[in-house]
Structure 1
Amino acid sequence: MKRLFSAFCVASAILMTTPSALAAEPAAVYTQHCASCHGADRLGGTGPALLPENLERLRKPEALKVIANSRAASQMPAFGDKLSAADIQVVADFIYTRPASVPAWGLNEIRATRIEHYKAGSLPDKPAFKADLLNLFVVVETGDHHATLLDGDTFEPIHRFQTRFALHGGPKFSPDGRYVYFASRDGWISRFDIWNLKTTHEIRAGINTRNLAVSGDGRYVIVGNYLPHTLLILNATDLSPLKLIEARDDNGKSSRVSAVYDAAPRKSFIAALKDIKEVWEIPYTDDHEPIYPGLVHDFRLAESLADKQLFPIRSIPLENYLDDFYFDQSYTHLMGASREGGKGQVINLDARRKIADLDLPGMPHLGSGITWTYQGRPVMATPNLKSGVISIIDMKTWQVIKRIDTLGPGFFMRSHENTPYAWTDNFMSPAKDTLTIIDKRSLEIVRNLTPEPGKTAAHVEFTRDGRYVLVSIWEMDGALIVYDAATFKEVKRIPMSRPSGKYNVYNKTTRSAGTSH
């Protein structure tokens, strides 16, 4: 589940701080009010790291505006009516000042954190419970840092277990659905054996981590980090490190990793770099020639032959940064956009170049896009983090064929192959308690549904067969609400602690067109 934090959000406790209090030593103010969110050393926690290199794409004058007025698509409050201009300047100056030291986080430090709770292969190859193993849901409850394994047929919890603090991004499954991998904001990667209901291995891959992906063959896990600026490839069986890749261009410029995903049909990982105008393709097969005939010479050479043959990097230059992206169903094309919004780009991964622009307003959330067939043509729909609009894109012409006005900016959009409806939230607006349901055949809104007035409703997911829809009430005293996908009638309500996201094994492992991958 993706929970957005601004790059300069300060802890909510500052809301109660008077302007005179901020006249104290900046480091003391940070320790008192911000460290619980962003880490004692500004290295990240539930919120991102607050270091000059992380704020590079935002000029300080703009940062002052953000601190005063908040920022679209974030949970940061506005402080303009609570802090004086001088106080805001003090905070901005502090986060743009490099700390005296930033700890090294190389392979030696990473290996030292690895925990083996159970040796690989030591647990039974038989489930400890009876259920349709492909119709299970993993529900992330961020309210008290737990996850629940839910039976998608009976909607009864099977097992609830503790996770690392502040999971970030959706968990990813092994191809057979037996294992699920979690990433926390502070870099911990956990491997959970669903069949045996046990966490088997853990390792700290970074200091401030963005997300992870699992290879289509189930052999590897890749982790993208904000801090340090690295990609880490792990053995999926025991989370032992295989290769640490610095996110740098040919001129030595370093970058945070904004996203990394598996492109299973291509047998490669795709990584977007937040501070470099490049996207990387990293094959994970041992034989690269059949995948990219004639292009092996384009791989960025490593220091040794062994390194060159293991996870080589194929760099594709871009005209703009990519903060977020989405694949078409063939995984030939990548649709991407930067946080600044206004225009997206379509990259042909085979041709290694941009082939089209996307006319997208505001700040499209392409990573939450879905696809279906409309009037015989493939289309993609994306919500928007800044504007109350759903953009429908023809994936043959790359033209926006319709914009559907909603009640406000939204975060998640979901559907299923067996339903004519797409569901989206209005997460970033006053109407955050209401879901909007769109008919995929007419591209018209058919219903605005309010599960619980005044409480945030978000992150829809379907059962394996598409008959039922699960909706999160995103509150500490929240719930999962199960709806009939055809009638929109409530079927069941399951109390949970801020269930930020729920993930169906079948839909994820089969790369359903109705969910993000």
Structure 2
Amino acid sequence: MRIRSFVLGTVAAVALATGAAAADGFGEGLRGTGDLGVVIERATGQVAVVDRLESARLATVEGLGDLSHASVVFGPSERYAYVFGRDGGLTKVDVLTGTIDARVVQSGNSIGGAISEDGSLVAVANYEPGGVKVFDAETLDLVADIPATDIGEGKRSKVVGLEDAPGNRFVFSLYDTDEIWIADFSKDRTAPEITKYPAIGRQPYDALVSEDGRWYLAGLFGEDGIAMLDLWNPDKGVRQVLEGYGRGEEALPVYKMPHLEGWAVAGGYAWLPAIGRHSVLVVDMDTWEQVAEIPVHGQPVFVMARPGGRHVWVNFALPDNEFVQVIDTQALEVVDTLEPGPGVLHMEFTPRGDRVWLSVRDKDEVHVYDTATRERLAVLPAEKPSGIFFTSRAHRIGL
């Protein structure tokens, strides 16, 4: 009994101390991380910390630099968000206290990043100077510098499509030299093993890793098709699939290149935005052949599956970016059209898919919808919001 009393007393003291620390942030008492997220406010270089259960804004974190093309990953504890800015800034944000834990400006121009499987390394893809820099996730100290291929006149290829893969690996594409590289940190975190795949297709511009960690898919700006690497069998090299995927038969203006990380996987199919066409393509993931094309309201940017895969939600480039459409994945047709307002840039589902958050940039708002009824439940103020990221991403591959 005495031992039990001592343990309970110690736990109570720790809880009180923790509660006091939390109160120094934006909330009183203990708080979990599972219901939290961040919203990028691109025009002001700040992020909003939000509570997805309460549909509430909790804190504003300023001083993150140029967030015009920002992305975010989370550490495994969900407490820390790593924000990648366009100006080369890498910022570690504590979402429990609403403060910056660490920050480094590591390049002149960067385009996103990833966190390793074990959560110990954060990698950043750089345009200038071209290459990948890898940092200790705790301290943001530089661990490894991987220069991209030299293209002459003191310049190196831009790096795009940086993704995490199982086994503490990072996979990325070299835009100017048509390559895909794997950097394997499983044996030595300061000297990764690099595997290079040349001539993978012209000008890879973005990429994704499938949720099972098997496929690395890179979109090609310079030609139709997708470069695909089987990460379970990397010795088989890169092959091209979906040879017709690109601008389509008729040359149309492309108002915004789709984000490959916005592809959906549902019911054994990949759902992807057609480039320069008003349609969503459905691809059999066993054969990697297109099986359907679904007409939609405009040029799709993000095609995202509600968790469970029953529906796919689609947003659009200009001039149709005030609309969102919902596709039934069984019927293969649009079943609803919403009009949240101009500048719907990003969508983020709650982990079980009961709600979806939409950034409505040109109204300076974030909207929350019930995914079953498609009713709008809440509106949060935000200054030119773009990306929305919930902490549940900490436990998914390729996000």
Q: Same fold (TM over 0.5)?
A: yes
Which of 43, 48, 68 matches 1:148?
48
- Look up the SS of the partner of 1:171 in the other structure: strand
1:367 aligns with 2:261: yes
Match of 1:449 in 2: 338
1:410 aligns with 2:300: yes
Specify whether residues 127 and 381 from structure 1 end up closer, same or farther in structure 2 by C-alpha distance, changes over 3 A only: farther
CA contact (8 A) 2:265 2:309 kept: no
Match of 2:238 in 1: 354
- Look up the SS of the partner of 1:233 in the other structure: strand
Task: Provide, for residues 279-324 of structure 1, a one-character-per-residue CA deviation record: whole Å limited to 9, x for no partner.
Answer: 111112226xxxxxxxxxxxxxxxxxx96xx212111223313211
- Look up the SS of the partner of 1:266 in the other structure: coil
CA contact (8 A) 1:380 1:395 kept: yes
Q: Provide structure 1 residue ranges, at least 5 long, that are not aligned to the other structure.
A: 1-122, 288-305
Match of 1:101 in 2: none
CA contact (8 A) 1:124 1:196 kept: no
- Matches of 1:388 and 1:505 in 2, distance apart? 32
CA shift for structure 1 position 143: 2.8
Q: Which amino acid aligns with 1:449?
A: L
CA contact (8 A) 1:266 1:331 kept: no
CA contact (8 A) 2:357 2:368 kept: yes
- Matches of 2:228 and 2:288 in 1, distance apart? 8
Q: Provide structure 2 residue ranges, at least 5 long, that are not aligned to the other structure.
A: 1-16, 248-256
1:510 aligns with 2:399: no
- Matches of 2:136 and 2:193 in 1, distance apart? 16
- Matches of 1:221 and 1:284 in 2, distance apart? 11
- Look up the SS of the partner of 1:351 in the other structure: helix
Match of 1:318 in 2: 199
Task: Provide, for residues 477-511 of structure 1, a one-character-per-residue CA deviation record: whole Å limited to 9, x for no partner.
Answer: 411111110010111111211110111111x1232
Specify whether residues 498 and 229 from structure 1 end up closer, same or farther in structure 2 by C-alpha distance, changes over 3 A only: same
Task: Provide, for residues 366-410 of structure 1, a one-character-per-residue CA deviation record: whole Å limited to 9, x for no partner.
Answer: 23212122xxxx211112452222111111100011111222212
CA contact (8 A) 2:322 2:339 kept: yes
Q: Which amino acid aligns with 2:320?
A: A
Q: Which amino acid aligns with 2:81?
A: V
Q: Which amino acid aligns with 1:366?
A: L
Q: How does 1:216-365 map to 2 (within 5 A)?
A: 216-248=117-149, 254-263=156-165, 265-286=166-187, 310-320=191-201, 321-349=203-231, 350-358=234-242, 359-362=244-247, 365=259
Q: Which amino acid aligns with 1:360?
A: Y
Match of 2:348 in 1: 461
CA contact (8 A) 1:316 1:353 kept: yes
Match of 2:290 in 1: 400
CA shift for structure 1 position 174: 0.5
Which of 363, 367, 370 matches 1:481?
367
- Matches of 1:283 and 1:170 in 2, distance apart? 23
CA contact (8 A) 1:360 1:391 kept: no
CA shift for structure 1 position 253: 8.3
> Matched residues, percent identical?
24
Specify whether residues 243 and 124 from structure 1 end up closer, same or farther in structure 2 by C-alpha distance, changes over 3 A only: farther
- Matches of 2:331 and 2:150 in 1, distance apart? 45
Match of 1:109 in 2: none
- Matches of 1:140 and 1:172 in 2, distance apart? 12
Stretches of 4+ moved more than 4 A in 1? 123-128, 249-253
CA contact (8 A) 1:410 1:429 kept: no
Which of 357, 377, 380 matches 1:494?
380
CA shift for structure 1 position 441: 1.9
Structure ranking higher in helix proportion? 1
Which of 288, 298, 318 matches 1:429?
318
Match of 1:387 in 2: 277
- Matches of 1:403 and 1:463 in 2, distance apart? 27
CA shift for structure 1 position 149: 0.9
Q: Which amino acid aligns with 1:282?
A: A
CA contact (8 A) 2:35 2:52 kept: yes
Q: Which amino acid aligns with 2:229?
A: I
Task: Provide, for residues 57-105 of structure 1, a one-character-per-residue CA deviation record: whole Å limited to 9, x for no partner.
Answer: xxxxxxxxxxxxxxxxxxxxxxxxxxxxxxxxxxxxxxxxxxxxxxxxx
Q: Which amino acid aligns with 1:441?
A: Q
Specify whether residues 153 and 364 from structure 1 end up closer, same or farther in structure 2 by C-alpha distance, changes over 3 A only: closer
- Matches of 1:185 and 1:383 in 2, distance apart? 24
CA contact (8 A) 2:304 2:313 kept: yes
Specify whether residues 172 and 185 from structure 1 end up closer, same or farther in structure 2 by C-alpha distance, changes over 3 A only: same
CA shift for structure 1 position 172: 0.9
Q: Which amino acid aligns with 1:510?
A: H
Match of 1:106 in 2: none
Task: Provide, for residues 422-457 of structure 1, a one-character-per-residue CA deviation record: whole Å limited to 9, x for no partner.
Answer: 11111x2322111111112222111111113xx222
| TM-score of the two chains, using structure 1 as the length reference | 0.66
Specify whether residues 505 and 187 from structure 1 end up closer, same or farther in structure 2 by C-alpha distance, changes over 3 A only: same
Instruction: Calculate the aligned-residue CA RMSD, in Å.
Output: 2.4
- Look up the SS of the partner of 1:336 in the other structure: strand
Which of 107, 120, 128 matches 1:206?
107
- Matches of 1:132 and 1:344 in 2, distance apart? 40
Structure ranking higher in strand proportion? 2
